[in-house]
Structure 1
Amino acid sequence: MTDRSIHVDFRAKLILFGLAFILSASMTHDLPIILALFFLLIYLVVQGFARAGIIGFCAGVIFALIRFATGEGGLTLFLPDVMTFATLRILVVVMAAYAMVRMPPGEVSAAFYNMHFPHVLSLPVTFMLRFVPTIHSEFRAVFAAMRLRHILSLSHPLRTFEYVLIPMMIRSSDVSDRLAASAELRGIENPGPHTCLRVIRLRRTDVILSLLGLVVTLLCLTLDKLVMN
């Protein structure tokens, strides 16, 4: 995240994620999906995640063009229409979730505390949001080690899968233990008030983004019904 980026409160991100999930489950045509992806592109850019936003939006446009060009037949047996249809809708959820995953876990925990969420719900979500970027870096380390040893080969996919799976299982277990120890050290089980270095409050920007997300959601749902008719 760059210094010029806009900070968005976790609660606003949670609202936008819920709206994205509704769109992903409701829309049947690609045009509203592209509109939603464009809004999420702007949403990520203003937070300093331009690269992830551009990649997600371009991937959505490519899949939409493939569906438009191939129709119901899909692009060969390995990329049927149902897969491109599902991938487009999953992209909406993934782009909305990306900004949440990149948040500091302490801020997420403090936001959950302010919302009076029960620990049985807030703790798993906090650990998941912290676990995802850590595992991403672990995957990069495993692939770098495989390239260094010249054992990363597409000609032997099952063997390559084994070389990736076994180290990731071991490293994931170690990462989960370290994350749990770090959370305990930071007092995540403390029954008292949880504090955060960043002020946890809804700002004008958060309200505007939430309202814009609601407007875009209603517009996409309306457009989807118009296309159906």
Structure 2
Amino acid sequence: MHLDLRSKFAVFLCTVFLASVLSNDTVFFLLTAILIIYSTILGYLKIAARIAIVIILISLMRTISEGNGFGVMLPDMFLFIVLRSLVIFLSVIPIVKTSPGELMAFMKKFKVHRNIALPLIFMLRFFPVVKSEFLEIIDSLKLRGLISFKKPFTTMEYLFVPMMFSSSNVSEELAAASEVRGISAKGIHTSRRVIKFRINDYIILILTIFVTLGLYLLEGAI
């Protein structure tokens, strides 16, 4: 299912609102289940499942500690904040996964200033590439036997020094590729992507409003 970016932002804003006002665990986990279904429908089952597992583990930790946390290192307030943040992240996944081309077309249509649009586009494109480079560096260090928990500082040096050089090269390559494609060229920029509300967007928007109101009222009724 493809959704307009505005629909995704509506879900995100409503999730932030609910995560900040819901205090009943039953209603909160109902919200979590709805967001997992939402992410799964949009095609993000794997990452939603991973987040769900972490949410379950943290919830079990809070239950075992009976709301007291685990000392200074893991106070209950920290677990509470992480739990809420993970639920919000479930609603952010579709936004973060939006392709740079679609995001650029969206910003062009709504006349977002280039000083805001371009850094955001580069950021969304930069982090996935850097993640790939990071994993390649780790695999390379494993093959050479240079990762050792006995020498953490040496391992960090082997890891982060090539990572910094790689990140610098990636940023230069992305900037050069964008310039070649005319991202800073003057004139009217066109796009093959059509930014408009479709039936799916209206359905998601209506469901989001009803779910938000329903959970908020259910919170007060329990």
* TM-score, length basis structure 2: 0.86
Q: Distance in 2 between matches of 1:221 and 1:161?
A: 46
Q: Distance in 2 between matches of 1:157 and 1:24?
A: 37
Distance change (3 Å), C-alpha of 1:124 and 1:67: same
Q: Distance in 2 between matches of 1:32 and 1:161?
A: 43
* Contact 1:101 1:133 (8 Å CA) reproduced: no
> Residue 201 of structure 1 aligns to a residue in which SS?
coil
Distance change (3 Å), C-alpha of 1:121 and 1:29: farther
Among 166, 172, 195, the residue aligned to 1:200 = 195
The alpha carbon displacement at 1:108 in A equals 0.6
The alpha carbon displacement at 1:225 in A equals 4.7
Q: Distance in 2 between matches of 1:40 and 1:80?
A: 26
The alpha carbon displacement at 1:169 in A equals 1.8
Asked whether 1:126 is paired with 2:121, we answer yes
* Contact 1:11 1:111 (8 Å CA) reproduced: no
Asked whether 1:70 is paired with 2:65, we answer yes
Distance change (3 Å), C-alpha of 1:62 and 1:99: same
Distance change (3 Å), C-alpha of 1:142 and 1:117: same
Distance change (3 Å), C-alpha of 1:31 and 1:188: farther
The alpha carbon displacement at 1:142 in A equals 1.8
Q: Could you tell me which residue of structure 2 aligns to residue 143 of structure 1?
A: 138
The alpha carbon displacement at 1:210 in A equals 2.5
* Contact 1:44 1:53 (8 Å CA) reproduced: yes
Q: Could you tell me which residue of structure 1 aligns to residue 83 of structure 2?
A: 88
The one-letter amino acid of 1:41's match is I
Give 5+ residue unaligned stretches, structure 1.
1-5
Farther off after superposition, 105-114 or 11-20: 11-20
Q: Distance in 1 between matches of 2:150 and 2:219?
A: 43
Q: Could you tell me which residue of structure 2 aligns to residue 117 of structure 1?
A: 112
| Number of residues of Structure 1 aligned to a counterpart in Structure 2 | 222
The alpha carbon displacement at 1:24 in A equals 3.8
Q: Could you tell me which residue of structure 1 aligns to residue 10 of structure 2?
A: 15
CA deviations 1:104-135 (Å, max 9, x no partner) are: 21111001111222222222222222222222
The alpha carbon displacement at 1:164 in A equals 2.5
Asked whether 1:170 is paired with 2:165, we answer yes
Q: Larger radius of gyration, structure 1 or 2? A: 2
CA deviations 1:35-65 (Å, max 9, x no partner) are: 2322221122112211011111221122122
The alpha carbon displacement at 1:67 in A equals 1.1
Q: Could you tell me which residue of structure 2 aligns to residue 59 of structure 1?
A: 54
> Residue 65 of structure 2 aligns to a residue in which SS?
helix
The alpha carbon displacement at 1:185 in A equals 2.4
* Contact 1:33 1:92 (8 Å CA) reproduced: no
Report the aligned-residue RMSD: 2.4
* Contact 1:110 1:196 (8 Å CA) reproduced: yes
Distance change (3 Å), C-alpha of 1:153 and 1:208: farther
Give 5+ residue unaligned stretches, structure 2.
none
Among 192, 206, 214, the residue aligned to 1:211 = 206
Distance change (3 Å), C-alpha of 1:44 and 1:196: farther
> Residue 73 of structure 1 aligns to a residue in which SS?
coil
